[in-house]
Structure 1
Amino acid sequence: MIYIPNDSANPYYNLAFEEYVLNNMDPGEDYVLLWQNAPAVIVGKFQNTIEEINTKFIKERGIKVVRRMSGGGAVYHDPGNLNFTFIVKRNPNKLLDFKEFTASIIETLKALGINAEFNSRNDLTIDGKKFSGNAQYVTKNRLLHHGTLLFNSNLDDLEKALNVSNDKIESKGIKSIRSRVTNISDYLKRDIDIQEFKTLLLKNIFAGGEIKTYYLNPEDKAGINELVKTKYGTWEWNYGESPEYNLKRSKRFNSGKVELMLYVKDGIIRECRIYGDFFGMGDISDIEHLLTGRKFKEEDIRSALAVLETVDIRHYFGGIALSELMELFC
């Protein structure tokens, strides 16, 4: 086993870091990574991103949203959460075993006086509350196992970031299963910080022996940054890879109710219909055509509707202003 340190807190970089190690490091070696992110929501490979996030809260807080390689549900990261990744040789004749990768975590916590358990949903729990979610990704010859460890995360922000709105969304995306969560720090018998916990865990992984370490070189970092540029930092990967879905949103303004219905595929608005009891005079299909074919992201929608700034929007929506209309898309 070889440990690869990584001090980056950039969620795009850190997800790219995992993939780079998986595909580019010596396949004859096993690796362990311990890393932390700035506030971010990490969605599973097969999830519909907007179905998993509180868009308004995430925008207000500047929280990044990144899709990972593995399946499973959406999770919240912040500096109070420690992420772990094992990248090992794969035995195709052996069933995937989540427990073997979490044994060192359970042992570390036991040494700290905490009784943690592995449950049937591949989570680690304390007193029935989840503090670690786990997922795996396999290639022909390699297996990547990664997970979260809520040490002293902001659980209020976690709940809000993953608190999906009441929009009616119908999709084939994998839905997250919400669980009661807790922080490891709440159960500690002595006061330690996340860095000391990280050190204790690393020692346990290497059974108290030498921690063989590999440091990323400039070529490695360039390769990781290229993955950020072409994949993990792109809207196409983080949102456009979502399964197709139908979205229904409505909002009542002073001048009436506006109901928006969208069919989105590959992150692109393929069909748009607008209904409501507002007193508009213009043909609402003009607006529907402006939006069709656009990426379902605020910047593109705002750009499409910018033409309305040159006309009297009340012609279409009565007394509803453009800034109010944008609330339906944000």
Structure 2
Amino acid sequence: MYYVKNERDGKEIHDPKLNLAIEYYLLNEVKLDEPILLFYINDNSIIIGRNQNTYEEVNTAYVEENGVDVVRRFSGGGAVYHDMGVLCFCFITEDDGNSFRDFKKFTSPVIDALHQMGVEGAELKGRNDLIIDGKKFSGNAMYSKNGRMTAHGTLMFDSQIEAVVKALKPKKHKLESKGIKSIRSRVTNIKPFLDDSYQYMNAKDFREQLLLHIYDTDSKENVKEYVLTEEDWEKIDAFAAEYTANWNWNYGKSPAFDMERSERLSVGTVEVKMNVRKGKIEDIRIFGDFFGLGEIEDVEKELQGIPYTKEAIRDAISKVDVNKYFGKVETEELVDLFY
């Protein structure tokens, strides 16, 4: 496995717009003979899922007042807060057809390393969360394209939890579905659970230890690296300009909607916004923290222009592979939500 440092001219990158661009560039254009591992630490930012509605996930007043970057990633899942106490990891590999949504496969190396550092209670629970004593310290997501995939996640090592609470706006039914009353009661940092010999560490020190554990070595000299070239950086910059540093990508424009429905389904939160004119669906947008393989716009196109009846909606949804776009969900769950 190759390790990629997110460094440019010898300086580590903390700009989330560039770090996400690096990840997507490696996925699409750097095809090596082994998988790729990337770590990065972002300045204060909120990274939202591919299908989420930015305005409904983010406390925009807090974000603007505190200079928090908001960047949309290409994978599904929910919004996460990043700061210099959060370590992000990313595995990039060929898509063998069996690994998408297999979060255990890609989080096991991290969990094993944490166990070796004294965090005995670290485990994968539910769909994509890593927890310690029932509290979440890591959220994970995946994205697949052209036969390759990325599995990435966050590790709250020593994050400012109060900022997490203020920056995000979780939906009430999402919190209720987990039996909790607030973000604060749900999340934790890793550092308090480490053995005493690791208490000196910050997130960058933690990254170095994690790297050695994953590669099962005592020296970074034994870690195989791919070094980003100037040509690589030109393409990374171009991608950032088109996507991750682009307001239209991160926030997006959409018409005003007169019908809104949101439910916590078996695959996560799914939200639909529609304009219905003269009995037909004129505009429709689908949002959520579900994990899909395809572009959700494909589903929206099937629904746009059809009569707003349960039968027509069921017929339209039946034309698409709902498990591909949403995950393992029943067609009737979606029909009941949309109608």
Same-fold call, TM cutoff 0.5? yes
Taking the aligned partners of 2:209 and 2:50, their CA distance within structure 1 comes to 31
Q: Secondary structure at the match of 1:66?
A: strand
* Unpaired runs of at least 5, structure 2: 7-11, 173-181, 261-272, 276-282, 284-339
| Candidates 105, 108, 119, aligned match of 2:110 | 105
* Residue identity in the other structure for 1:215: V
The residue aligned with 1:162 is: 168
* Residue identity in the other structure for 1:16: A
Tell me, yes or no, if the aligned pair for 1:2 and 1:211 is still in contact at 8 Å.
Answer: yes
Query: Which range moves more in the overlay, 48-57 or 194-203?
Result: 194-203
Say if 2:248 is the partner of 1:236. yes
TM-score normalised to structure 1 length: 0.68
Tell me, yes or no, if the aligned pair for 2:4 and 2:226 is still in contact at 8 Å.
Answer: yes
Taking the aligned partners of 1:60 and 1:95, their CA distance within structure 2 comes to 38
* Residue identity in the other structure for 1:239: Y
* Unpaired runs of at least 5, structure 1: 167-176, 249-261, 265-269, 271-330
* Residue identity in the other structure for 2:124: F
CA RMSD of aligned residues (A): 2.6
TM-score normalised to structure 2 length: 0.66
Cα separation, partners in 2 of 1:240 and 1:185, compared to 1, 3 Å? same
Tell me, yes or no, if the aligned pair for 2:56 and 2:169 is still in contact at 8 Å.
Answer: no
* Residue identity in the other structure for 1:126: I
Q: Once the 2 structures are TM-superposed, how far is the Cα of residue 147 of structure 1 from its aligned partner?
A: 0.2
The total of aligned residue pairs comes to 242
CA deviations over 1:241-286 (Å, ceiling 9, x no partner): 67975599xxxxxxxxxxxxx999xxxxx9xxxxxxxxxxxxxxxx
Larger Rg: 1
Runs of 4+ off more than 6 Å: 241-244
| Candidates 209, 215, 223, aligned match of 1:211 | 223
Taking the aligned partners of 1:241 and 1:90, their CA distance within structure 2 comes to 32
Say if 2:54 is the partner of 1:49. yes
The residue aligned with 1:183 is: 189
| Candidates 218, 222, 231, aligned match of 2:234 | 222
The residue aligned with 2:85 is: 80
Cα separation, partners in 2 of 1:61 and 1:217, compared to 1, 3 Å? same
| Candidates 107, 111, 126, aligned match of 1:120 | 126
Q: Secondary structure at the match of 2:88?
A: strand
Q: Once the 2 structures are TM-superposed, how far is the Cα of residue 195 of structure 1 from its aligned partner?
A: 2.0
Taking the aligned partners of 1:245 and 1:129, their CA distance within structure 2 comes to 36
Taking the aligned partners of 2:194 and 2:158, their CA distance within structure 1 comes to 11
* Residue identity in the other structure for 1:77: H
Q: Secondary structure at the match of 2:46?
A: strand
Tell me, yes or no, if the aligned pair for 1:27 and 1:89 is still in contact at 8 Å.
Answer: no
CA deviations over 1:34-89 (Å, ceiling 9, x no partner): 00000000000000000000010000000000000000000000010000000011
Tell me, yes or no, if the aligned pair for 2:85 and 2:202 is still in contact at 8 Å.
Answer: no
Taking the aligned partners of 1:242 and 1:8, their CA distance within structure 2 comes to 32
* Residue identity in the other structure for 2:107: T
* Residue identity in the other structure for 1:46: N
Q: Once the 2 structures are TM-superposed, how far is the Cα of residue 163 of structure 1 from its aligned partner?
A: 3.2
